[in-house]
Amino acid sequence: MSTKGRHELPDWVHWEQRPFPDANLLLLDGREPALVDSGFVGHADRTAAWTERHTSRLHRVVNTHWHSDHVGGNALLQRRGAGIAASMPDADALSRRDPGCCAAEYLDQPVPPYDVDEALGDGDILTLGNAEWEVVATPGHTPGHLALWQPEERLLVVGDALSDYDVGWVSLATDGPEATRAAVASLARMADLRPRVLLTAHGPIPVDTQAALGQAQRRAQRLVDDPEGAVWYGARRIFAFALMIRDGVATGEVESYLHRQPWLKDAAALLRRTTDDIADQLLDSMLRSGAAVIGDGRILAAAPHEPVEQHRLDVPFPRAWPPPRREAAG
């Protein structure tokens, strides 16, 4: 068992907090250098440059799940020689070029084409950096979400399952009502590991690991107990991310933008409301809460985030991706 202090990391673990729309940077250096998640496509060059400062021979990228802020640098890093490892559900869908891959089209979040070279299952052991890590299936935020556990150092990579301030939203429309219960069960499983450090994909490393896990379990249980609240929670998170990556939406175009989104149509169906009602209430609630603001004729995300050069979003949705390489997993 590790005797390190609560948040002390081995010298082969490089972690850097990163603002939205990117996931935090986590490089595990050593015998088999590995990057966990690769950020948003708009900043893929920055991800690659940071990685190359820490290692000249990236062996693989391990994705905790396939959302755009976690896989956006995959294509660039794969072209430079890194293998891509992801959960079996994600790998299977990507091998078929399922139109639902990465929820990219559903969420209107661009992802450049990539292939999964290594499909991961629960309990698999990987050499990442200088240590052996166990793959822990943690469905909820997405069906294929996974965590990574290093038992000697008691490090737990948690993806979007939780952060210091939040839990991952769930998609009741695409994943069903069991998704919230799966999220609760996954958090309980992670808490049972008694990790020393939680390496979160967003926000700072939690100061009190066990308190953060307990709070996350309570927050996730509220999603189970209040399905309507879970739908609104997801809608707010999705729309806020859209505002971040698109430099906002013109005030005169925001309603038409929202009405085109399949996630909003699904939210209206789940809540038994019209799309007009949902769009109006979503926009009003985000402006009143301060999650969105109006500036220069645009609805803008208020949360701190890095701007994105808009031409970098010009990538095809998965239904138009080229066929996968034959050697890729699937």
Sheet with 146-150, side-by-side order of all strands: 125-128, 131-137, 146-150, 155-159, 197-200
Residue 322 lies in a domain: no
Give the per-residue pLDDT at 1: 44
pLDDT in single tens digits along all 330 residues of the chain: 454 656 789 999 999 999 999 999 999 999 999 999 999 999 999 999 999 999 999 999 999 999 999 999 999 999 999 999 999 999 999 999 999 999 999 999 999 999 999 999 999 999 999 999 999 999 999 999 999 999 999 999 999 999 999 999 999 999 999 999 999 999 999 999 999 999 999 999 999 999 999 999 999 999 999 999 999 999 999 999 999 999 999 999 999 999 999 999 999 999 999 999 999 999 999 999 999 999 999 999 999 999 999 999 999 999 999 999 876 665
Shared domain for 74 and 183, answered yes or no, is yes
Shared domain for 77 and 215, answered yes or no, is yes
- The range of the structural domain enclosing residue 201 comes to 13-225
Write down which residue in 179, 205, 225 finishes a domain.
225
Shared domain for 176 and 294, answered yes or no, is no
Residue 5 lies in a domain: no
d(CA 39, CA 206): 20
Residue 241 lies in a domain: yes
Is 160 buried (19+), middle (13-18) or exposed (0-12) by CB count in 10 A? Answer: buried
Residue 161 lies in a domain: yes
CATH code, domain with 127: 3.60.15.10
Give the per-residue pLDDT at 326: 72
Beta strands in the chain (DSSP E): 13-16, 25-28, 34-36, 60-62, 83-87, 118-120, 125-128, 131-137, 146-150, 155-159, 197-200, 249-250, 292-295, 298-301
Residue 6 lies in a domain: no
The count of structural domains within the chain is: 2
Shared domain for 202 and 121, answered yes or no, is yes
- The answer to whether the beta carbons of residues 328 and 117 sit under 8 Å apart is yes
Residue 330 lies in a domain: no
Shared domain for 239 and 297, answered yes or no, is yes
Shared domain for 165 and 245, answered yes or no, is no
Give the per-residue pLDDT at 314: 97
Give the per-residue pLDDT at 6: 60
- The answer to whether the beta carbons of residues 70 and 41 sit under 8 Å apart is no
Give the per-residue pLDDT at 7: 76
d(CA 226, CA 221): 9
Shared domain for 142 and 284, answered yes or no, is no
Shared domain for 283 and 295, answered yes or no, is yes
Residue 323 lies in a domain: no
Write down which residue in 172, 201, 225 finishes a domain.
225
Residue 35 lies in a domain: yes
Shared domain for 272 and 171, answered yes or no, is no
pTM, full prediction: 0.96
Shared domain for 46 and 59, answered yes or no, is yes
Q: Return the exposure string of 97-131: e unless at least 16 CB atoms fall within 10 Å of the residue's CB, then b.
A: beeebbbbbbbbbbbbbbbbbbbbeeebebebbeb
Give the per-residue pLDDT at 5: 57
Distance of CA 140 to the CA centre of its chain: 12
Shared domain for 85 and 151, answered yes or no, is yes
Shared domain for 198 and 256, answered yes or no, is no
Write down which residue in 174, 197, 225 finishes a domain.
225
